[in-house]
Amino acid sequence: MTTPILIILIGFLIFLGHYLAQLFDRTKIPDVVGLLVVGMLLGPVFHLIDPTTFGRAGRVFSNLVLVFILFESGLEVRFEQLRSALRGTMGLTTLNFVVTTLVVSILAQLFGGLDLLSALILGTILGGTSSAVVTTLVRKVNILEQTSTTLVMESALSDIFTLAIPIALISVYTGASFNIVTLLSQIISSLVVALLAGVGGGYLWSVLLNQVPMLLKTRFSTPAFVFIVYGLVEMLNFSGPIAVLFFSITLANVTLLRPRRLSQYFPSRHVELTATEKDFFAEIVFLLRTFFFVYVGMSIVLDNGYLIALGVGMAAVLFLVRIPVVLATAGRKTPQLDMAIMSIMIPKGLGAAVLATLPVQQGIPNGAAIQTMTFAVIMGTTVFCTLLFFLVEKRRITGFYALFFGKGRPLQAPLLPPPSPPNTTGR
């Protein structure tokens, strides 16, 4: 594809993204599905664009999307919501990872012909959720802030498991040493270091904003600092997404967390984006997520019909086993609608796609099968998630979820009050 045609295509995708977003607002037909289909047509169907030609730029792009989306989402989280959601988030993230790993591993062994270790690698790769999809969809429905925060945090915290454990299992095939104590220490240290880096970076930046007023005049100074924090944490082999999430949460709650003796160095109010900045970043996030989902569609590999069908079947089973996971971890007063939304928020993202390429690169015998099934599950869970979201939001399948979540629970959260006028006086 020549450069002029590629530039024309980029312009076309931007227009298409806006059209699908407006169609979503009017009809609730998920725009994600349309973007994925376009990506598949450009990539594996007509072979107009090969995603491998992007090389490292594709990985950088996916990380850029996550940074912006997590940063914007974290600024909306208040400390009270975080405190109430944290316990449920850890339980939901851990239990969902364990159940997903076991179910996928069993199905891969029974129907995919994978050995135990290869099946475990596949299961752990698929144990998390996609931050880009989750944070996009939870804003489109009237659920409790605590539920929204729990789902966003789950999508970020699950990266700790899906990054550390598959790589550790792959090391067994490559001949490297494997130790369960070392693995657990890596997971805990990844969480702790990323959290401390995010909180510390948020404190440091809030001080700089308070002491250097010139920084408040630039729209991109805060995201630039977020990029630095993310990059430094990733360079240390810890979780950059966790650091970004807690950086923005700290920034949004610095007035509640500031030390009393040093209060003069911190802002006297919440650090908020102005209305102009919110519109600016919302447009950036929109453009990035548009290309992100097209890129995921292009990355789907369609080379084995049986394994693709098996992967789609795995995706369907994962939505069923998610129901008892939500039942076991959600609070008793969580509304039925919130429980239903939690049950469908298991899309797999580009992180799983990147990890799926590692077994092939390392020469693992079943590496190609792992990659094919992973791409199929990514596509299946993303499409199922968005379609189920449409049906739940339209109250088309609430009766099905009421069979599991209806006992003693309200139907949904109270309607949100009208939005207050935007704050244009502070950050």
Residue (of 367, 320, 356, 359) closest to 126 by Cα position: 356
Q: Cα–Cα distance between 122 and 112 in angstroms, integer? A: 11
For the chain, which residues make up each domain, given as ranges?
A: 55-384
* Weakest mean pLDDT among 10-24, 102-116, 208-222, 259-273: 259-273
Residue 146 neighbours by CB under 8 Å, 6+ apart: 81, 84, 85, 88
Greatest distance between any 2 Cα atoms in the chain: 64
Region 253-269 average pLDDT: 59
Instruction: Tell me how far apart the alpha carbons of residues 313 and 292 are, in angstroms, rounded to a whole number.
Output: 24
Q: Which residue has the higher pLDDT, 34 or 228?
A: 228
Where in 125-269 does DSSP place strands (E)? none
Euclidean distance between CA atoms 33 and 379, whole angstroms:
9
Q: Give the CA angle between residues 329, 333, 335 to the nearest 5°.
A: 90
| DSSP state, residue 287 | H
Both structure tokens of 406: 């209806």
Look at residue 425 in the predicted model and tell me its pLDDT.
Answer: 34
Asked if pLDDT for residue 274 goes beyond 50, the answer is yes
What's residue 322's pLDDT? 97
- Rounded to whole angstroms, how far apart are CA atoms 131 and 154? 8
Calpha distance 287→149 (Å, rounded): 23
Q: Which two tokens stand for residue 181?
A: 């104590």
Residue with tokens 């979820």: 401
Q: Contact 78/252 with Cβ under 8 angstroms?
A: yes
Distance CA 402, CA 384 (A): 19
Tens-digit pLDDT profile for residues 1-32: 678 888 898 899 999 988 988 887 676 566 77
User: What is the rounded average pLDDT of the residues 247-255?
Assistant: 79
CA gyration radius, the chain: 21
Share of the chain above pLDDT 70, in %: 81
pLDDT band of 120, cuts 50, 70, 90: very high
CATH class of the domain whose range is 55-384? mainly alpha
Model pLDDT, residue 108: 96
Residue 334: both structure tokens together: 């969580």
Range 89-99 average pLDDT: 92
Look up tokens 């030609």; give the residue.
53
Within 10 angstroms of residue 407's Cβ, the number of other Cβ atoms is 9
**Rounded Cα–Cα distance for residues 110 and 103 (Å):** 11
**Tokens linked to 72:** 């914007």
Q: Please classify residue 61 by burial: count the beta carbons closer than 10 Å to its beta carbon, then call 0-12 exposed, 13-18 middle and 19+ buried.
A: middle
Give mean pLDDT, residues 202-211.
82
CA distance 172 to 170: 5
The model's confidence at residue 424, banded by pLDDT at 50, 70 and 90, is very low
pLDDT tens, residue by residue, 326-347: 999 988 888 989 999 999 999 9
Q: Is the pLDDT of residue 350 over 50?
A: yes
pLDDT confidence of residue 239: 76
Q: Pull the structure tokens for residue 160.
A: 């700790």
Within 10 Å of residue 255's Cβ, how many Cβ atoms?
Answer: 15
pTM of the model: 0.73
- φ, ψ of residue 213 to 5 degrees: the values are -60, -25
